[in-house]
Amino acid sequence: MKKARAREGIRTTGIPSKEELEASPGYPKSDCLARGPIVVIECVQDIPCNPCEGACPSGAIKVGNPITNLPVFDVEKCDGCGTCIPICPGQAIFRVDMTYQTDEATVSFPYEFLPLPKKGDVVQGIDRAGGAVCEAEVLRVQQPKGFDHTAVITVIVPKNMAMEVRSIKRAKR
Amino acid sequence: MKNTDMVVVGGGAAGMAASIEAACAGAEVVLIDENERPGGQLFKQIHKFFGSEVHRAGIRGIHIGRDLLKEAEEAGVQVRLNTVVYGFFPDKCLGLMCNQHTEELQAKMIILATGASENVLAFPGWTLPGVMGAGAAQTLINIHRVLPGRSVLMVGAGNVGLIVSYQLLQAGAEVVAVVEGLPTISGYGVHASKIRRAGVPIFTGHTILRAEGKESVERVVIAAVDKSWQPLAGTEKAFEVDTVCLAVGLSPLAELAWMAGCQFIYIPEIGGWVPVHDENMETSVPGIYVAGDLAGIEEASTAMEEGRLAGLAAAEALGCLSSKDGRARKAEVWERLAALRIGSFGHGRALAMEKILRAKGVG
Amino acid sequence: MRIDDHPILGKAERGRSITLTVDGSPVEAFEGEPIAVALMASGHRVFRYTTKQKGPRGVFCALGRCTDCIMIVDGQANVRTCVTPARDGMVIEKQFGRGPREEKG
Amino acid sequence: MPKTFDVGIIGGGIIGCAVAYYLSKAGVSVVVFEKDHICSGTSNANQGGIAVQLFDPKTIPLALASSELFSELSNELELDLEYRRSGTLNVALHAYQVPLLKRRYDELIQMGMDVRLWNDHQLRSFPGGDAKPFLAVCESPHDAQVNPLKATYAFALGAKRLGARIMLHAPVAQMKTDQKTIRSIILKNGEEIACGRVVCAAGAWSKEIGRGVGLDVPVEPQRGQLIITEQVPRSEYPYILDADYLTSAYGIKPEGEDEAARMRLKMGIGASFAQELPGNWTIGASRDLVGFVKTNSPEVLKALAKYLLEFMPWMKRINCIRFIAGYRPYCIKDGRPILGRVLDLSGFYLATGHGGEGVALAPITGKLVAEEITTGKTSLPIDDFRFDRFFCSH
């Protein structure tokens, strides 16, 4: 068991482990998710980087000094606007809305591939390891000029997949 | 022979930043680059940069490059393209060649910002067409807009290997796997996460055994390695690919600094032999400065800051800046540089830089 | 295998369409792009064969540094195709060792 | 107790290594003191030419014998030295050179050498199309080329196999003498090594070594600059020389016909274009006495390149990939090597002053100096090369 754990984690697999995520001050506690749309920051390494802090219009993200601090997320201040999603150079910020429907949640994530999906498309929801875990219906594709070519896609997924789905399967070009 | 205040060799991130600072301070600056267009590697950095606002975090390298070009033009930097500095001669005289014509240019101050070249990795089949540097693939896809192949194996999970893998996917290629000999991923985890989400497996503790193919790469075989880097029998995996990209580190392009007689120090963590320099980026030869990857392999953000530092220091040495102003301006850059060299990713580079300063006798 | 559209860079802007002759056959290129790019776009992978081992070589560094991609361009050997701009009508040949293929009777 | 060797050799260039090899072959215990590393002084920055037709007539017998030795050395030393008798062309581009070339041709014929003057047809058909017409060409088909780095290392390794000790990074501080006889060598690190005999093969640094034992060895570093091109197909004539090399031999002042030629002569430039086995051309040569300055100068490089195109205009589109400079250990008295024992200091031998001919003369120098040390006699006369010649009045 211990051995298996040593092989997990972002440094070995490129995927943040459950422990790494839960230890990160940007990752919301599970009881916060019921409040409505909030961002989920999956930043677990001390990279010198802080654009998320300046991007948040409500001051919900704090990095401070030094800039290698992990972003601290204040769920009280977050209104789920998602401005921080396309800003993060590591594409490590997502938005989850557990209140979307009784059985369904929405997940928003950055996406920089072609072709872009369209609203209403039913695609495959992809987890952090790149595996297809469920069907996902595209609710929104945002790509205003300010995002500088990083689209933010929102998909509808079963509620139990909201903390698993982090992208969608890329369509063939 | 022509004369100028300052010559900056290399029009990449470091060289452009150096030229802008020096020209804004009032120095006559000639920026020389051997390529058809300036920008060095910035124009293939199509991802958003890390750092803070002062480092232009969240902005893509290409846009930073465009801004630097504009600033350089506005500052009056004379940019000479398609020009090779073929030799460094006594009394800070540079031999230039452009369109098969040569000339000499003498400068009071010289800033070398010649960058780096990619390391290679030798394995059976590594000379086959289809095996190339990761940076080469990045140039092809992001600048020249052509795919080097349809399916790629990436060797190396440092930031270059991870970023180029992602950009190959963006360009429409498939990346079948990233192979890393170390037991862990040395690049930023978020870069690894991006390609994992896109379905690319990362094999840490693995190496490439061979590339096979008649006239070009058709297939590769990888295997797990033990602690002494020996392949473990029975762990071989084969992939049908037409391209292998090597992202196994960079080495400073130090020829001109060697010719100039600069003292060097060997620091493997930042690319091997690097010119010793002080906190102003001045080498052991007075009036010759270094910046960017030549001064130790780091990243574009640090290269720009080092360039600014060298540009300010050289302008100060020319008398274009008062020592009071110079010191204040340099202090700002030192602070920004320090911010980029902290944490577990920056600590090793910070130590390496201290080693360089100690070798110069100022640490 | 040109990349016409790109999620970040958008539609490709290219120079005038021109024609190169590569080992006797026409190859489409865009003016000003490196010769090597036109060759890769048209599926060429082998640019030359080495002197001693006669091994194939293609683009390796794409920066004009390694000289793996050298070819004979308009009769001139050792031309680094990755940094030499394509011009209309250029005649390009694979290089064998230090020059053209030696015809042995 | 200091370590003891029969012979200590100062200098790990091709001359020192050749002397070490031939002494070791004769069973003598040898140590080589090299201040830096093998081939780090002069032997790494030259063209490896054995252009016998340019040699001073007194030195030609040595050059011929040396070339013969080279032809066996690849086998003997178990390393391909790339020795090949590719021949040389000595070319007169200018009218004043033609009589010099013809005079030299007659001299060489009289010495029994197989040399040829080109006829009109050969002159016209020299490859290169619009080349400035060659006025006269003397071809010496048995002249040769060798890889100087491989040759130096082969001698060093050969000596080592036979038991010689080669000490690298071991600069000599002083030599101990007693009753005008060499006793030992003391290195800069303080180590003392007893050797009954010492050979100075220190090339351009010989003056300093000589001074240490009270001898005025008239050798100065002469800077030579070379350009190296990329690899191109093998030429039928891979080694081309310039008749100006004969001017000093015949006491003729070379003429500068135009400004470029005058500049060239001022910079000591004469054509010496040699193609190495992989296909690279080395474009030389310049000679100037500027002390221990090993930098290149752009003026010389440009003049060399320009001069090259007068001979071979087709090289205009060939890329230069490097340039280098090296020291020729030049005997300022008469330009000839200084070989053998020294009367005033028993046990001290000189093998230096070879100028630009050190590689060509290395095997015969090694052989003759070894013979003198072991038998007191030499198989070829070397009286014309002895140190004493500077003090005898003729």
| pLDDT (0 to 100) of residue D131 | 56
Per-domain residue ranges of chain B: 2-117+250-360, 120-246
Mean pLDDT, range D168-191, rounded to an integer: 95
* pLDDT of amino acid D130: 55
pLDDT tens digits along D252-264 = 777 777 787 888 8
Closest partner residue to B102 (CB to CB) among D295, D297, D302 is: D302
Task: Give D104-161 pLDDT, tens digit per residue.
Answer: 999 999 999 999 999 888 888 887 655 567 899 999 999 999 999 999 999 999 999 9
CATH code given to domain D88-141+220-331: 3.30.9.10
Inspect the interface and report whether the beta carbons of D297 and B89 lie closer than 8 Å: yes
CA atoms within 13 A on the CB side of B276: 18
The neighbour count for residue B214, using CB atoms within 10 Å, is 8
B residues 211-250 near C, CB within 8 Å? 215-216
A158 domain residue, yes or no: yes
Residues A133 and A66 in one domain: no
* C9 token code pair: 């860079």
Q: Say yes or no to pLDDT of B51 above 80.
A: yes
In a domain, A5, yes or no: yes
C-interface mutation test, from B119, B144, B216, B250, most C Cβ less than 10 A away: B144
State the CB neighbour count (10 A cutoff) for residue D179. 6
* pTM exceeds 0.90: yes
Nearest CA distance, B359 vs chain A (angstrom): 27
Q: What is the DSSP string of B26-89?
A: T--EEEE-SSSSS-TTGGG--SBP-B-GGGTTTSBHHHHHHHHHHHHHHHT-EEE-SEEEEEEE
List chains touching B (3+ CB pairs under 8 A): A, C, D
Q: Does A68 share its domain with A124? A: no
Spatial distance between the Cα atoms of A139 and A133, rounded to a whole number of angstroms: 18
| pLDDT at residue D7 tops 70 | yes
In a domain, A131, yes or no: yes
End of a domain among A50, A82, A114?
A: A82
Residue D6: which of D209, D190, D184 has the closest Cα? D184
Report the share of chain D in percent with pLDDT over 90. Answer: 82
Share of chain A above pLDDT 90, in %: 93
User: Which whole number is the average pLDDT over B140-145?
Assistant: 97
The whole-number pLDDT of residue D128 equals: 61
B2-9 and B101-112 strand pairing: parallel
Q: pLDDT value at position B361?
A: 84
Min Cα distance A115 → chain C (Å) is 8
For residue A93, being part of any structural domain is answered with: no
**Total structural domains in chain A?**
2
Q: Which of C2, C6, C11 would you mutate first to test chain A, the one with the most A CBs within 10 A?
A: C6
Asked if the structure places residue A76 within a domain, the reply is yes
Q: Assign domain B120-246 to a CATH class.
A: alpha beta
Q: Which two tokens stand for residue B11?
A: 């029009």
Helix, strand, or coil (residue B90): coil
Residue A62 sits in the same domain as residue A113: no
CA distances from B282 to B257, B276, B327 (A): 11, 8, 15
Q: Is residue A89 part of a domain?
A: no
Cα B178 to Cα B155: distance, rounded to the nearest angstrom:
6
3-state secondary structure at position B181: coil
Chains contacting chain A through 3 or more C-beta pairs under 8 A: B, C
Cβ-Cβ contacts under 8 Å between C and D: the total is 19
Q: Confidence band (pLDDT; 50, 70, 90) for A4?
A: very low
Yes or no: say if D323 and D265 are a contact pair by the CB < 8 Å rule: no
| Interface residue of D280, D317, D321 to substitute, partner C, most C CBs within 10 Å | D317
pLDDT at A3: 46
Q: Are chains C and B in touch, 3+ Cβ pairs below 8 Å?
A: yes
Average pLDDT over residues B213-226: 97
Euclidean distance between CA atoms C29 and C37, whole angstroms: 8
DSSP-derived secondary structure for D58-79? TTHHHHHHHHHHHHHHHHHHTS
Domain range for A77: 1-82
Instruction: Show me where the domains of chain D are located.
Output: 3-44+149-218+334-390, 88-141+220-331
C17-96, CATH topology level:
Ubiquitin-like (UB roll) (3.10.20)
Let me know if chains A and C touch, i.e. at least 3 Cβ pairs under 8 angstroms. yes
Q: D3-44+149-218+334-390 and D88-141+220-331: same fold?
A: no
Give domain D3-44+149-218+334-390's CATH architecture. 3-Layer(bba) Sandwich (3.50)
Task: Match domain B2-117+250-360 to its CATH number in 3.90.1570.10, 3.50.50.60, 3.30.950.10, 1.10.3720.10.
Answer: 3.50.50.60
Question: Which residues from chain B sit within 8 angstroms of residue D296, using beta carbons?
Answer: 87, 89
| A173, part of any domain | yes
